[in-house]
Each structure stands twice: as structure tokens, then as C-alpha cells.
A and B are shown apart, each in its own frame.
Chain A
Amino acid sequence: MKASRVASARSWLRTSNVPSDEYLEGIYYVQGRDFVDAGIVSSEIKKNLKEKGIPESIIRKVAVVTFEAEVNIISYAEQGTIQYYVEPGSITIEAKDIGIGIEDIELAQQEGYSTADDSIREMGFGAGMGLANIRKYSDEFEITSVPKEGTYLRSTIYVNGK
């Protein structure tokens, strides 16, 4: 049932904040095809970072990167995780999933290229902007994928800009 599936995804949703001003991190579970809750991880991470007094312009970048990464996992993977680490000078986001992976990574990063279905488009996504957006908001960006196995994405955002 839909409702119970959402509830079970919710119960997985967790954060493991280290109570230190120097180092902050969190990990979130993302359930594939859970369209109802898409974006919840991005919102939660943003809330956490706001409490730590990180500059708003940096938090916005992190929120966009995590949002698009989350939508990708929900859209194309069975399940995955989104992790973030705050370090002096930078914030790194890692998104890992088990899923269909990406056949042609270069093509997937082209604006407008998409393999989305209607359920993704109904959410307001699926126009082939996701990876381009993540790249745009990142200072460092890396993506690797094994078709039929999964995808790994890492984005680093510098806190003092660059």
C-alpha cells in the first residue's frame, strides 16, 4: 500500500548529527519511486545547516544539489543514500544508489537529455536538467556509474566561494 510504503521510508529517514561546531554530518535513506516525499531530504539537510549558522547562499547551493540528487535516486534507483559532511571551508554531498545506473554519463549531463517517465514529470522534474544543475552549483563534481548496478555522485561546495 502507498501509505505504508511512505511510512516505512519515513522510518528509515534519519540523521546522525555530530554535536560539534567543527564537524557536522548526516546520512539519509532514500526509497526509489517514493515520489510523494521527494525533496524531504533536501529540506531536512537545509534545516540542519541553518541551525549551524552556515551562510544562506551556501545552504541554498547544498539544498539544490541534494534536491536534484534525491529526485534522481527516487526516479531511477531502487534505493540510495544521501550523505553530507561539513568541513572547514567546504561542504561535501555524496549520493549513492543501487539501481539501473547510467549508460552514457556524458550524454546524461547534457541539458535536456532525459529518460524520465510521466511520474517524474508530474513532480516537476524530468526535463534533463538535474545533473546540469548539480554541476552548476558545485565547486567540485564527480559522477561514476555502473549500468544495472548503481551510481555514485559527489559534489563539493566551497564555503568561502571561489
Chain B
Amino acid sequence: MTLREIKELLDAEIVVGEDKLDLEIKTAFGADLMSDVLAFARSGCLLITGLSNPQAVRTAYALDIAGIVVCRGKALTDKFIDIAKELGIPILWTQFIMFEACGRLYREGITGCIREVLVEDKQRAQ
């Protein structure tokens, strides 16, 4: 699914990354805790989060995450937007709660970037 289709599906605004709407997304990860994102998310996935601070963008950048969906209509600061632009991370902004956003994406074929946390995930990064 493209970022453009995800934008439509989530009735979202594209805040950063108009030029990346054709980006293909296959998997996603949802969390507000960035340490868990750093531990378990995979490169190329979409991050769905209610955390709209610079650390969310820097976490996405650290892992080569394809883009961020900020859910629950969380307020976006200029700093957040500036850093997303600087680091080239597309930002979608939706009023949907995380559960609803994830459910809509899953129904249309987006899967978790990992299905469950396995022992080897805890011990060793891939």
C-alpha cells in the first residue's frame, strides 16, 4: 500500500513528505514508548505513535523507518516538523486513536513488522 492510500484510509493530513506519497509500505509498528520501537521495529516499516516530539522522529531515523503516523490528533510542534523535514521522515497526522488506525491498516493488508516478540528478538538484534 502506498503512503497516499494510507493517508486516505486514515483520513490523515500529510504534514511532511508530500513528495514521498508513492512510497510503498508493507509493515507497521505501533507504540508510544520509543525504547520499544528501538528494540522491536524494523527498517522500512510505518510507525504509528501518539508521541509527537523530536525523539519520535529521531527514533524513526535511527531505524530507517519509512514514515510516522501521529495518531489521536496529537499537537505537532514546529520543532517536530522541522526535524522530520531535516531527516526526511514523512509525517501523517490523523485524529484516529491508535487502535482504529492500526485496525484500518491491518484490514487492508498491512502486517506487523514482527508478529510477536520472540526470545531471539530479546536477545539479539537482526
A residues with a Cβ closer than 8 A to B are: 36-40, 42-43, 46, 56-57, 60-61, 63-64, 67-68, 71, 111, 122-127, 129-130, 132-133, 136-137
Do A136 and B62 have beta carbons less than 8 Å apart?
no
Given contact pairs A38-B58, A60-B62, A63-B62, enumerate 5 new A-B contacts (beta carbons under 8 Å). Answer: A46-B61, A60-B63, A124-B59, A127-B33, A133-B38
Q: Which residues of B contact A68 (CB under 8 A)?
A: 35, 38
Do A123 and B122 have beta carbons less than 8 Å apart?
no
Q: Give the interface size class of chain B.
A: 20 to 34
Q: List 17 A-B contacts (CB under 8 A).
A: A36-B79, A37-B54, A39-B54, A42-B58, A60-B43, A63-B62, A111-B122, A123-B34, A124-B32, A124-B33, A124-B59, A125-B35, A127-B35, A129-B38, A133-B35, A133-B39, A137-B125
Count contacts between A and B, CB distance < 8 Å.
Answer: 83
Do A124 and B125 have beta carbons less than 8 Å apart?
no
Residue B36 CB within 8 A of the other chain: yes
Min distance, Cβ A78 to any Cβ of chain B, angstroms? 21
Chain A residue nearest to B32 (CB atoms) is A124
Q: How far is the CA of A43 from the CA of B87 in the complex (A)?
A: 8
Residue among A67, A71, A127 making CB contact with B36, cutoff 8 Å = A127
Interface residues of B: mostly helix, strand, loop or mixed? helix
Q: Which of B58-77 contact A (CB under 8 A)?
A: 58-59, 61-64
Q: Which residues of A contact B126 (CB under 8 A)?
A: 57
Min distance, Cβ B53 to any Cβ of chain A, angstroms? 6
Residue among A42, A60, A122 making CB contact with B64, cutoff 8 Å = A60
Chain A residue nearest to B122 (CB atoms) is A136
Chain A residue nearest to B50 (CB atoms) is A124
Q: How far is the CA of A126 from the CA of B34 in the complex (A)?
A: 9
Do A39 and B35 have beta carbons less than 8 Å apart?
no
